[in-house]
Amino acid sequence: MAYAGLELEDVSMVFKSDGQEFTALAPLELQVPRGRFISLIGPSGCGKSTIFNIVAGLQAPTTGRIVLDGEDITGMIGQVGYMLQKDLLLPWRTVLDNVSLGMEIRGVPLKQAREKALPLIQRYGLGGFENRYPSALSGGMRQRAALLRTLLVDTDLILLDEPFGALDAQTKAHMQEWLLQLFNDFGRTVIFVTHDVEEAVFLSDDIYVMASRPGRVIDKMPVDLPRPRDRSIVSTPRFVAMKKYCLDLLHTHGVVEEEKAAA
Ligand SMILES: Nc1ncnc2c1ncn2[C@@H]1O[C@H](COP(=O)(O)OP(=O)(O)OP(=O)(O)O)[C@@H](O)[C@H]1O
Ligand SMILES: [Mg+2]
């Protein structure tokens, strides 16, 4: 039987410009079983968004294949839900029509898309704002709308590229709990990119730690913490130890890389 989930087989990415080659991603193997929450953490430029662009079919990898539930989807768009690193709401569309947009792009008539979107807007913290424009929303609310838009696209796999990166600490904490509730309710497979190690441990089932030059995975850490999780878990010894393990790895590799570059 085919593997249930996402597989990256020998995926690499080399960019060429001015006759120079730059390896953004060294050959990568990755397996994400259906229904899991995976995070990718690593320094800026280690290829996290590049992985997402390849999985979403927006960039062709230099080598390798993307396989979803046993089917080769390399270069195919529309197979996954993707919230880009700088995902913007359209300022001229209401919240309701922004949340409906993903479905609409996939061919769902707007009226039908709105009927599906409205109860979720109300249920997930945007009730009363459905007819407002994005300029009337706080940063956290905008991210909720963009996330709901991504989730409403009818795909199992969802890619979220630093959705909470620009939020203040308190809003971010609320959003993480909100996302866990969604993950629980929707039962999707999520790959999540963040620079924030605590966020990765709090949310994930597995964390892939990456390094740069060339971009690659240096370790995979399973997060064996029970679900559902609440904020009190961050001060437990197990949580603190996992966080430290990831931070140490990132630090060691970061420093080693910089020393190499300076030499
Ligand atoms: N189209 C492109 N042409 C050339 N180089 C590129 C291109 N896209 C990305 N790169 C390079 O590939 C590397 C990986 O970029 P990527 O955006 O995937 O990093 P990232 O891990 O998402 O970083 P950040 O955390 O800052 O978002 C970077 O060095 C970047 O400059
Ligand atoms: Mg990025």
DSSP 143-199: HHHHHHHHHHSS-SEEEEESTTTTS-HHHHHHHHHHHHHHHHHH--EEEEEES-HHH
Q: What is the pLDDT of residues 194-247, one digit of tens each?
A: 999 999 999 999 999 999 999 999 999 999 999 999 999 999 999 999 999 999
pLDDT cut 90: percent of the chain above it: 84
> Are the beta carbons of 75 and 55 closer than 8 angstroms?
no
Q: What is the pLDDT of residues 234-250, one digit of tens each?
A: 999 999 999 999 999 99
> Are the beta carbons of 85 and 49 closer than 8 angstroms?
yes
Which pLDDT band holds residue 52 (cuts at 50, 70, 90)? very high
pLDDT at 106: 86
pLDDT at 85: 82
Q: What is the pLDDT of residues 36-49, one digit of tens each?
A: 999 999 999 999 99
The answer to whether the CB of 50 is under 6 A from ligand 1 is: yes
The number of beta carbons lying within 10 Å of the beta carbon of residue 263 is 5
**Residue 48 CA to ligand 2 centre (angstroms):** 5
CA distance 123 to 136: 19
**Residue 215 CA to ligand 1 centre (angstroms):** 9
**Residue 116 CA to ligand 2 centre (angstroms):** 31
Which pLDDT band holds residue 255 (cuts at 50, 70, 90)? low
Domains of the chain, residue spans? 87-154
**Atom 26 of ligand 1, nearest CA residue:** 44
> Are the beta carbons of 150 and 186 closer than 8 angstroms?
no
The answer to whether the CB of 44 is under 6 A from ligand 1 is: yes
* Average pLDDT over the chain, rounded to an integer: 93
Stretch 120-143: mean pLDDT: 93
Q: Of 138 and 261, which is predicted with more confidence? A: 138
pLDDT at 261: 64
**Residue 162 CA to ligand 2 centre (angstroms):** 8
Beta strands per DSSP E along the chain: 5-17, 20-33, 37-41, 63-68, 71-72, 81-83, 157-161, 189-194, 206-211, 216-222
pLDDT at 1: 77
Ligand 1 mutation pick, 46, 53, 191, max ligand atoms within 8 A of CB: 46
**Atom 19 of ligand 1, nearest CA residue:** 45
pLDDT at 254: 78
**Residue 180 CA to ligand 1 centre (angstroms):** 28
The answer to whether the CB of 46 is under 6 A from ligand 1 is: yes
The answer to whether the CB of 24 is under 6 A from ligand 1 is: yes
> Are the beta carbons of 60 and 72 closer than 8 angstroms?
no
pLDDT at 88: 83
pTM of the shown model: 0.93
